[in-house]
Amino acid sequence: MNQREKTVCPHRRACGGCQLQNMSYGEQLLHKQKKIVSLLGQFGHVEEILGMDDPLHYRNKVHAAFGLDRNRRVVSGIYQPGSHAIVPVDECMIEDEAADRIIVSIRKLLPEFKIQVFDERSGSGWLRHVLVRRGFATGQVMVVLVAVSPIFKLQKPFLAKLLRLHPEISTVVLNINDRFGPVVLGRRDKLLFGPGYIEDILCGKRYRISPSSFYQINPSQTEKLYSAAVEFAGLSGKETVLDAYCGIGTIGLTASDRAKQVIGVELNADAVKDAIVNARLNSVKNCWFTQGDAGKFMEQMVSDGHRPDVVFMDPPRSGSDGRFITSLLKAAPKRIVYVSCSPETLARDLELLCQGGYRVRRIQPVDMFPFTNHVETVVLLTKGTV
């Protein structure tokens, strides 16, 4: 794609997912660079944002809400911002095209298999969402049907037909979510076909991904992000590394070849299980993963007299909390590599780390989410003058 061309999406107004529709890709990169300079420039020089060669169809995970429109016709697509009205979307310029095709097929199969979609107003019906994840490097595809109950009468013939139409599907999971509210996935999964997870390859390592585990949605840009993060860590093979907010262990495992040992901590129990499997899958013997709150874990680590040499931290959008920052300052690692998807909370946390004696050395923005407002940033901090 020519960086100066504009791509216009027919759903842009109703959907609202791509806020930078009015800009060419080149303009988007410039806009994001300026945003990071204005929020983080006070901490030091901002390196040039790493963009994509082809910024279309980068999302490896596609979520479609299913429901009824005003005329009680079945629709699937994206929630309108701030509402529960569904904007019908069959094709999206940032979503994986194979995933979009599967979602459309599922919608078309519903009448034949007497599957009712859930109606929020009356509380009747069954199917609420469909989630498709594809491992871009392996081609493996996971379909998650989110429904209000585990009873699926015509399960067998439905699956047979879906798999005939899409032999690329490697696993199908039924997730049960009977609660009201914005959370897509419920707590229970029922395996309908295949192993219940998919695998993907990132920075040369293989990863298992379960339905609810966090996995970066743009793999080619994630490789750039992780490469920058590992470079910033400056590892020599002697370090004890903490991978805080580690998800399925991707950053820690990417760094493991260059460290003495890596300890990962993560709140989501399924993601931790995946991280442990991932270490085994890659024959990595120097990584340990544990479930818990990252701040609490580091507090304990410090009070037990252990201190990491390098800390990777990759918190959710809300940033880190007081407990984590306080224990991080106590742990006083030589290097902190902060990976952030929210420059606003990043600026807030950097301020606290700088007050605690750290200096920002490198700031590298990465465009993980073309056409949207979001920017990912990786920052290196070291103590004092080192």
Q: Least distance from C-beta 257 to ligand SAH, angstroms? A: 17
Nearer to ligand SAH, 315 or 365 (CB): 315
Nearer to ligand SAH, 76 or 177 (CB): 177
Give kind and range of the element (H or E) at residue 281.
helix 269-281
CA distance 159 to 219: 29
CA distance 358 to 52: 32
Q: Least distance from C-beta 9 to ligand SAH, angstroms? A: 27
Nearer to ligand SAH, 126 or 232 (CB): 232
Catalytic residues, which ones? 341
Q: Least distance from C-beta 247 to ligand SAH, angstroms? A: 3
As given in the structure block, the two tokens for residue 313 are: 């931290």
Q: DSSP letters of 313-358?
A: E---TT---HHHHHHHHHH--SEEEEEES-HHHHHHHHHHHHHTTE
CA distance 232 to 380: 6
Nearer to ligand SAH, 265 or 350 (CB): 265
Contact between 363 and 332 under an 8 Å Cβ cutoff? The reply is no
Q: Least distance from C-beta 273 to ligand SAH, angstroms? A: 13
**Residues engaged in binding ligand SAH (CB under 6 A):** 214, 216, 245-247, 250-251, 265-268, 271, 293-294, 314-316
Nearer to ligand SAH, 9 or 137 (CB): 137
Q: Least distance from C-beta 200 to ligand SAH, angstroms? A: 11
Task: Name the burial class of residue 163, with classes exposed (0-12), middle (13-18) and buried (19+) by CB atoms within 10 angstroms of its CB.
Answer: middle
CA distance 40 to 351: 10
Q: What's CA 153's distance to the chain center, in Å?
A: 33
Check residue 373 and report its DSSP letter.
Answer: S
